[in-house]
Homo-oligomer: A and B are copies of this chain.
């Protein structure tokens, strides 16, 4: 391979000068610069990243850990899948805007191998981004003791780390308020998310708060799913079984996949949605828009979430003394058909930060 020395020799200068040219420093005479650039060109020189990192004492690489929800064999998909894509793009955008690189790995369970991999990563990057919250706190702390760590879509009240997350509580509150105030919904059934998912918890809170604020409304039941279509289906069947002629006015699912599962179960049983029961989800995945009836849901700006987390991390790498900070990104209420609005409806309504809770 061609090294800096080769370039220097060919251009008849020292390696320092080549380095200067390489980094666009302007304390190089133009003619010299030209000669060096020519040499670089001729030789097709590309700097060695490892050597640069070592010398600069900085890798200009950030690590992304994607936590995978444990996947049961019968699951076709899982929430991480639709989740990841946009976030990844956001992160990559932020990273490459700074001309840094992105090292990515998946974390799927607390095995020795995974542990080793994750720890080793901290020796290869300047900072780490962790997607989703169900990541062992102990491990998070070990990582954080070595490099800055930012959590994406984590719990908003993490005291020791930077967190960037969507305003799940306000989003859920907004969609539930819509059901109650614009569709006269009184009885609701809640299909909650996994208990270890911080965003699911926030959504549950949002629902509860709105119910409290609206006397006369109440939960007729609740169950928990795993953020996938299968468990949504099961929830739907359970709703039917428990109903005995008394279906709730609306089913609120903690994400779109489960909402689609519920929709399926209801439709299959001959229940008309939204005429007999309204159904709403969360996330605004592709399929929410394709499904019939089109799903009313809440959009969270995953891409921006990735970008923000990334800039925050780079900020903290530059100045590790920064205090931990939580950023809540606003969501959007996406009103379509499944809540009871007329066919063909598509309204996107920004959800203001936390006021939405009040109504």
Interface string of A138-176 (1 = CB under 8 A from B): 000010011000000000000000000000000000000
A332 on the interface (CB 8 Å rule)? Answer: no
Q: Which of A51-59, A187-195, A214-222 contacts B (4 or more CB under 8 A)?
A: A51-59
A58-98: which have CB < 8 Å to B? 59, 61, 76-77, 81-82, 84-85, 88-89, 92-93, 96
Chain B residues, Cβ within 8 Å of A291? 290-292
| A51 CB, min distance to chain B CBs, angstroms | 5
Once the chains are docked, how many angstroms separate the CA of A84 from the CA of B50?
Answer: 28
Chain B residues, Cβ within 8 Å of A92? 104-106
**Residue count of chain A within 8 Å CB distance of chain B:** 49
Contact A99–B124 (Cβ < 8 Å): no
Interface string of A38-52 (1 = CB under 8 A from B): 000000101111110
Contact B119–A46 (Cβ < 8 Å): yes
A103 on the interface (CB 8 Å rule)? Answer: yes
Chain B residues, Cβ within 8 Å of A120? 46-47, 49
Once the chains are docked, how many angstroms separate the CA of A106 from the CA of B94?
Answer: 12
Chain B residues, Cβ within 8 Å of A142? 44
| A183 CB, min distance to chain B CBs, angstroms | 24
Contact A290–B124 (Cβ < 8 Å): no
| A80 CB, min distance to chain B CBs, angstroms | 9
Chain B residues, Cβ within 8 Å of A89? 106
Contact B105–A104 (Cβ < 8 Å): no
Contact A102–B103 (Cβ < 8 Å): yes
A223-248: which have CB < 8 Å to B? 229
Once the chains are docked, how many angstroms separate the CA of A354 from the CA of B164?
Answer: 49
| A62 CB, min distance to chain B CBs, angstroms | 11
Contact A96–B77 (Cβ < 8 Å): no
| A86 CB, min distance to chain B CBs, angstroms | 8
A123 on the interface (CB 8 Å rule)? Answer: yes
Chain B residue at smallest Cβ distance from A45: B123
A134 on the interface (CB 8 Å rule)? Answer: no
Chain B residue at smallest Cβ distance from A60: B124
Chain B residues, Cβ within 8 Å of A106? 89, 92-93, 96
Q: Which one of A48, A50, A59, A117 has the highest number of Cβ atoms from chain B below 10 Å of its Cβ?
A: A50
A101 on the interface (CB 8 Å rule)? Answer: yes
Chain B residues, Cβ within 8 Å of A121? 101
Chain B residues, Cβ within 8 Å of A103? 61, 101-104
Once the chains are docked, how many angstroms separate the CA of A145 from the CA of B93?
Answer: 27
Shortest Cβ-Cβ A-B pairs, 7 listed: A49-B124, A50-B53, A46-B123, A50-B54, A50-B50, A287-B287, A49-B123
